[in-house]
Structures are given as structure tokens and as C-alpha cells.
Amino acid sequence: MFEFLKRAPFVEDLIRRNPIFYSQFRQLLDEAEALSEADRRAMRRRLLARSVSHAIRLPGYRDASGAIAIDALPILTKEILQARTPDFHSHQWPGIPASTGGSTGRPLRLLRSARSIVVEQATIDWLAAKAGVALDRCRIAVLRGDHFKDPNDQQPPFWRRDGARRLVLSSNHLGPAHFRDFAATLEAFQPDVLHAYPSSLQLLASLAEEYGTKLRFPLAITSSETLRPGLRRRVRDVFGAALLDHYGMAERVSAAYSLEDGVTSFVFPYAATELIPEGDDACRVVGSALWNTVQPLLRYDTGDIALMPPRTDQRRRERIALGLEPFLRIEGRASDVLELAGGSRVYALDQVARGIDGASSIQFLQQESDLVQIIVVPNHHYGADTIAAITRNFYRKAPRSVRIEFDLRDAPYRLPNGKAPVFVSAMAHV
């Protein structure tokens, strides 16, 4: 029933911008931004105490029933939550179902309270307002992982209208063969905001550069994938748009945003974020939900890595977690690395694409410990020197013992959830 109601734009807006909670949380975000470190710490303690009081009534937290402080609780992993999902949600209050993207083929089933859904929408609207856009009054085009058309059907339309102010496009069909159809539809729709996966936005910008377009809009909002180097500048040059990169997740235990390269901030008090050091200038993101009484996840290991400024000490990490200082960026999943047979790892494969003009998209699919398939979507600058440049850049990161094979395609490789990450380990999905 809820999924049916969500398809009605007015009903969905009423759910997400419920007047009982929405304005209160927007006001709280404004007020919290001006709080001192001491006041933020005090607010964090109060909100966490409330979440802990809900959580310790649940079977999943029974072993920690005597805990009154968050750091007395064990870290909760996705594997534990997936194996014991009913133990971590309340059976006294109805929840609204959701799930993670399931990139490993095993989506995690979740429950959200009505208030937590409003808090999420209020946060996104608040962030868009920082870029000068009132999201609740915008015409929004969506280019993400929506599956509403058979990928084998190559006849337009490749989009659908969800009410007067929302256009959803099939990212699976975006490519050179259909770009003019996409461009004409977007130009006619005249969006104020384009909400997209970074990989889809990058492909759209590359095709627009190649084939031309009159499409212009004020703001692009990206999420769910790591933002790729140079994309923000490219989107500004091609579409005249600012780019808001939003970091969040279905579990709703942390949120961050970036409006300029190298400057990312956690949103307080959306959630309570902890930063646990993992390697040089890198921290694993662990978060606790503050507004979901139905499934109050505490100290949940997101598996995501945040890149810190050089020589960040514990005090500065705490200020960053409170949203008082920025960090560089979300680097991606801790597992998004090329694992070699000898146990060594290769990080930051997205850097291989830097300086290469002949490809709209470059991805790396690890087939074996010593074999990587490089998937390339060529553009009009493509040539033999493109492959040579990719090969040269790749072996600046990885040893020559790793074999590479090239696969030229019209569109990026996508996971079942519609995402097109830079790196995918086929070994992890076996």
C-alpha cells in the first residue's frame, strides 16, 4: 500500500514534508549550525541517550542493556544486522519498509519511522537551499537507477512523468545512440534540478560535449556513488549548474555534503557520526541514528571511508564528526580496492582516468586476482592512444603482474541496482 501511495506526488510530498515534523527539523538544522562545540556535544549526548533508551529494549541490544553511553555499545556490522534483522527493530510501532541497494545481491531490509523520513527530506531540502534552490518548488529530472523499461527495448520513450514537476529517465538507455532523445526531452522539460548518480551525470556531460545541447539548469544533486575528479567543473562548464554531492545511506546513520571540491562536511544533528582511523589520513565512518525509533541503529559500521586532511589528530576528528570542520571527501567503500594474490591492495583506481579525453566512462572489473577487465565507453576523441594512455596510467597504480583486457561498450557496466561504480570485484559477487 505504501509503495502505491508513494507514486502519487501529492501524497508522497505530504509524507516526506509532513508539517508536524518538517519545519521543526529545518529550524533545528539552522540553529545547530550556529552552535558552539560544547553545545553540539551536549545536544549529541541528549539525542544519543534518547536513541539508546529505545535501542536497549530490543533483543539485538540485550547484551548492552546496562549501557548508558554510546561508546559502551559494540560496533554493529551489516552482516550481523542482515543475519538478525528482526532483533534490531521495534515490534510495537509500525515502520515504513526500505532496503539498501543490494550491490552484492543481498539487499538489507530496513524499517523507518515516519519522522526519520521527514528528517531525511528536510536535510536534503536544507542542503539544496545552500545552493540557492528551493527543492520543494522545483522541476526535478531524475537520472539514477530507476527500472521501468526493459533494457532490451531500444525504442523511445526512455522516460516517464511522475506528476507535473518530476521526470524520471532510464539511465540504462543513456548512450550515444539515444542521446538526442534524452537531450530533447530534458530541454523541453526545463528542469531546475537534475538528481543523478555521478556515473550517469558524467556520461550525460560527456555526450553533451560531444553532440551539443541547449540544456541548462541551476543545480545537479549527486549521491550513492563516489564523486569523480573533475565532474563538478565539467557540469558547470556544460550545463551551467552547481553540483551538490550528498552522502547518505538507506540506514540513515550519517550524512555529509559537498558544494566544492575538497570540502565536505557532516550534517549535524542528522545523526551521530564517529570517525575511526584506518590507515594514513583515512577513517571508517560509523554512525548512530538519532530519529528512527522503529529501528534505532547504533554504532553502525557503514563500510565507507572518509579522507581526512593531513595530520588530523583525535581532537580534529571529533570536530569534523560534529560538522564543525570539513574533511576532504568520502573515498568510497573500504572494500572498493583491487586485491592482489600476494595480499597487497591497489587503491584509487578512479585516478587512472585523469587526463584521458577519449573515453566518456572508464571502469575496472576484477575477474581474478591477476586479471582486470577495463570497460570503456568511447567518445569522439577515442583512438589507439586512448587505450595506450589508460594502460600507462593503470600500471602506474598496479604491478605488471596484473593482466588487463579492454571491453568497449556503448554504455557503462551497471549493477542490478543501476549504479555504475568505478571498481567492481566480480570475485566478491561469486
Q: What pLDDT shows up at residue 75?
A: 92
Residue 65 sits in a domain whose CATH number is: 3.40.50.12780
Instruction: Looking at the structure, tell me whether residues 349 and 325 fall in a common domain.
Output: no
Mark the ranges of the chain whose per-residue pLDDT is less than 70.
Answer: 1-11, 63-69, 92-93, 101-107, 151, 333-337, 342-345, 347-348, 417, 428-430
* Residue appearing with cell numbers 536535510: 123
Residue 167 in domain = no
φ, ψ for residue 282 (rounded to 5)? -135, 145
Out of 290, 314, 333, a domain closes at 333
Out of 298, 316, 333, a domain closes at 333
Contact 128, 121 (CB under 8 A): no
Instruction: Looking at the structure, tell me whether residues 328 and 399 fall in a common domain.
Output: no
Q: How far is CA 318 from CA 48, 112, 243, 330, 390, in A?
A: 16, 27, 27, 16, 39
Q: What pLDDT shows up at residue 105?
A: 43
Residue 396 sits in a domain whose CATH number is: 3.30.300.30
Instruction: Looking at the structure, tell me whether residues 327 and 345 fall in a common domain.
Output: no
Instruction: Looking at the structure, tell me whether residues 6 and 78 fall in a common domain.
Output: yes
Instruction: Looking at the structure, tell me whether residues 230 and 312 fall in a common domain.
Output: yes
User: Is 195 in a helix, a strand, or coil?
Assistant: strand
Residue 203 in domain = no
Instruction: Looking at the structure, tell me whether residues 226 and 316 fall in a common domain.
Output: yes
Write out the residue range of the structural domain in which residue 315 sits. 2-133+218-333
Residue 44 in domain = yes
Out of 312, 333, 354, a domain closes at 333
Residue 53 in domain = yes
Residue 165 in domain = no
Half-sphere exposure of 403 (CA within 13 A, CB side): 6
Task: 282-286: list long-range contacts, CB under 8 Å, 24+ apart.
Answer: 282/306, 282/307, 282/308, 282/331, 283/308, 283/317, 284/334, 285/254, 285/330, 286/75
Instruction: Looking at the structure, tell me whether residues 88 and 227 fall in a common domain.
Output: yes
* Among 52, 32, 21, residue whose Cα is nearest residue 296: 52
Residue 195 in domain = no
Instruction: Looking at the structure, tell me whether residues 310 and 358 fall in a common domain.
Output: no
* Among 40, 245, 256, residue whose Cα is nearest residue 131: 245
CA dist., res. 162 & res. 1, Å (int): 18
Q: What pLDDT shows up at residue 104?
A: 43
Residue 343 in domain = yes
Count of the separate structural domains present in the chain = 2
**Which residue type sits at 42?**
A
Instruction: Looking at the structure, tell me whether residues 41 and 108 fall in a common domain.
Output: yes
Instruction: Looking at the structure, tell me whether residues 420 and 290 fall in a common domain.
Output: no
Instruction: Looking at the structure, tell me whether residues 250 and 110 fall in a common domain.
Output: yes
Task: 324-327: list long-range contacts, CB under 8 Å, 24+ apart.
Answer: 324/37, 324/40, 325/265, 326/263, 326/264, 326/265, 327/264, 327/265, 327/266
The model's pTM: 0.81
Instruction: Looking at the structure, tell me whether residues 300 and 320 fall in a common domain.
Output: yes
Residue 144 in domain = no
